[in-house]
Amino acid sequence: MAVHDAVEKSREKAAAKAAAYVNHKPRTRQQVIQYLERNGFGSDAVEAAVEELTKYHYIDDFNFSVLYFQYGFDKGRGIGRIKRELLEKGVAADVIECAYEELDEIPDQEEMAMAIGTSVVSGIDSDALSYEEKRKLQAKIGRRLASRGFSSDIAYRVVKRLF
């Protein structure tokens, strides 16, 4: 009886700790699991807490992904980077794809990339640059766009439009 009470108390503590964690900001299922494990909860308590929070929709990887896409687009990130970050946060690839397909509005990736590329070259007279300097500037734009998660195809088209 005492063991059962201790297990139940551990589950309740894990659920309360997890609820406080997701109350701060939305989290993925994997993030909550890792958080509880770091805080010393056993696998039974972790699983029970995660199931309870999932049941009440406090943890919902699909909705998290939709919100994260919107957040990423607002920050000027490309689809590739957003998807990679979601994978790193423990969201399953199929959930990410479903969330992407459910988005109401997907910004034009090339126009977003063009705005970033334009900001890199603003104030620079590209006609006055030597061939080598132009190549370095093009490479800089390509790296910036790649780090933001834009495909190499989009980066190439943006560089071509700018020069």
For the chain, the straight-line distance linking the first and the last C-alpha, in angstroms and rounded, comes to 76
Question: pLDDT digit string (tens) for 83-133?
Answer: 999 999 999 999 999 999 999 999 999 999 999 999 999 988 888 889 999
Question: pLDDT digit string (tens) for 10-55?
Answer: 889 999 999 999 999 999 999 999 999 999 999 999 999 999 999 9
Domain boundaries, the chain: 2-55, 61-102, 109-162
pLDDT attached to residue 2: 63
Tokens describing residue 109: 């990736």
Q: Decide if 21 contacts 35 (C-beta within 8 A).
A: yes
Q: Decide if 120 contacts 144 (C-beta within 8 A).
A: yes
